[in-house]
Amino acid sequence: MSASTPQPHPSNQPDNPVELQLRRMTRRSFTAGAIAAAGGLAGLGWLKTRAPIDGLEWPLRRTLEWNERLAQAYFRSTRRAPSFPMSAARTPRPNGAVGLGNGFDPKTWSLRVATPNDRRLPKIGLDAIKTLPRVEMVTELKCIEGWSERVYWAGARLADFVQKFRLMELSNPFKYATLSTPDDAYYVGLDIESALHAQTLLCYEMNGEPLTSEHGAPLRLVIPLKYGIKNIKRIGTIRFTNERPADYCAERGYDWYAGH
Ligand SMILES: Nc1nc2c(c(=O)[nH]1)N[C@H]1C(S)=C(S)[C@@H](COP(=O)(O)O)O[C@H]1N2
Ligand SMILES: [Mo]
């Protein structure tokens, strides 16, 4: 895994609308983080709302606060994968279909979320995910087999998802996230810093269109700091855990972190 900063790219200039948008959002997030840190989060309205998600009450949480370590990972993680102008976006070849078998109905799909303490798995529909701030970016999908493609993605930050549905506790943050296909055939493990990185998206659109099945409809992960193998298609379940999770490709000899 390389810790070097990505080379500056011409597209990272302020005239690139996607980059500008990303910067605006990052600035807003930072401001929210600074306010939260100063006010101990007490005044933030979203902490008080506890709307049922798709008819299910969210399980009670002991602590509702966004913790310091997570805030640090989320707000101060400055390393960014390069982004590119819209004109660079192409459709990548569909690659890897583990966990994308038949007998899957996107209409009845919902995302299941679990933490080690949960007695049940709440289900979250695509509509709820689309209410989170929409993030668009053109980043490179880099396959370990040696090809790469620049793709225009749209989705919600996994960090915003975690924050909105209060999946972490102040006193006891999780160290890892693990995502798997509905049939559990493909699964990826992520360190929590990478999972909460500002460019890590729960993605529902590719190049301006809803995801196709072969690219992971209805929801896939896009994590441009990692190789393609971590960009799991057709997410069924997200779990948060303190044990380093199993990873389909790591079990087949690839680096567990798979950063580049
Ligand atoms: N469910 C699932 N997700 C997956 C894979 C897979 O086999 N199954 N392959 C991965 C690999 S190796 C790559 S390079 C990317 C390719 O994404 P694409 O098919 O949208 O181009 O998906 C990743 N996500
Ligand atoms: Mo890949």
Give the CATH number of the domain where residue 121 resides.
Answer: 3.90.420.10
Its domain, for residue 42, covers: 17-48
Domain identity same for 35 and 111: no
Name the residue type at position 82: P
Question: Residue 133's CB: how many other CB atoms inside 10 A?
Answer: 11
Model confidence at 117, pLDDT cuts 50, 70, 90, reads confident
Domain total of the chain: 2
Among the residue ranges 54-58, 86-90, 166-170, the one predicted with the least confidence is 54-58
User: What per-residue confidence (pLDDT) applies to 66?
Assistant: 52
* Of the residues 48, 67, 88, the one at which a domain ends: 48
From 95, 204, 222, give the residue whose CB has the most ligand 1 atoms within 8 Å, as the site to mutate: 95
Domain identity same for 33 and 118: no
**Ligand that lies nearest to the alpha carbon of residue 220, given by its number in the listed order:** 1
From 91, 231, 247, 248, give the residue whose CB has the most ligand 1 atoms within 8 Å, as the site to mutate: 231
DSSP line for the chain: ---PPPPP-GGGSTT-HHHHHHHHHHHHHHHHHHHHHHHTTTT-GGGT--PPBTTBPPPP-S--PPPHHHHHHHHH---------GGG--PPPP---TT--SS--GGG--EEEE-TT-SS--EE-HHHHHTSPEEEEEEEEE-TTS-EEEEEEEEEEHHHHHHHTT---SSS--SEEEEE-TTSSSEEEEEHHHHTSTT-EEEEEETTEEPPGGGTTT-EEE-TTB-GGGS-SS--EEEEESSPPP-TTGGGTS-SS-B-
Q: What is the mean pLDDT of the chain?
A: 78
Report yes or no on 10 lying in a domain.
Answer: no
Residue closest via CA to ligand 1's atom 5 equals 96
Domain identity same for 124 and 169: yes
Dist. CA 232–CA 245, nearest whole Å: 14
Report yes or no on 193 lying in a domain.
Answer: yes
Q: CA 137, 246, 176: angle at the middle one, nearest 5? A: 55
Report yes or no on 83 lying in a domain.
Answer: yes
Instruction: For residue 235, report the distance from its CA to the centre of ligand 2, in Å.
Output: 16
Name residue 148's beta-bridge partners.
142
- Rg of the chain over Cα atoms, rounded to whole angstroms, equals 18
- In this structure, the residues whose C-beta lies within 6 A of any atom of ligand 1 are 92-100, 141, 143, 181, 186, 215, 228-229, 231-234
Name the residue type at position 59: P
Domain identity same for 62 and 114: yes
From 190, 207, 227, 233, give the residue whose CB has the most ligand 1 atoms within 8 Å, as the site to mutate: 233
pLDDT at 218 over 80: yes
Instruction: For residue 229, report the distance from its CA to the centre of ligand 1, in Å.
Output: 6
Q: What pLDDT, in 10s, does the model give residues 136-174?
A: 999 999 999 999 999 999 999 999 998 888 887 655 678
Domain identity same for 206 and 229: yes
Domain identity same for 93 and 131: yes
Check: CB of residue 205 under 8 Å from CB of residue 91.
no
Residue closest via CA to ligand 1's atom 15 equals 228
Cis previous bond, 182, omega within 30: no
Residue closest via CA to ligand 1's atom 6 equals 96
What percent of the chain clears pLDDT 70, i.e. is strictly above it? 68
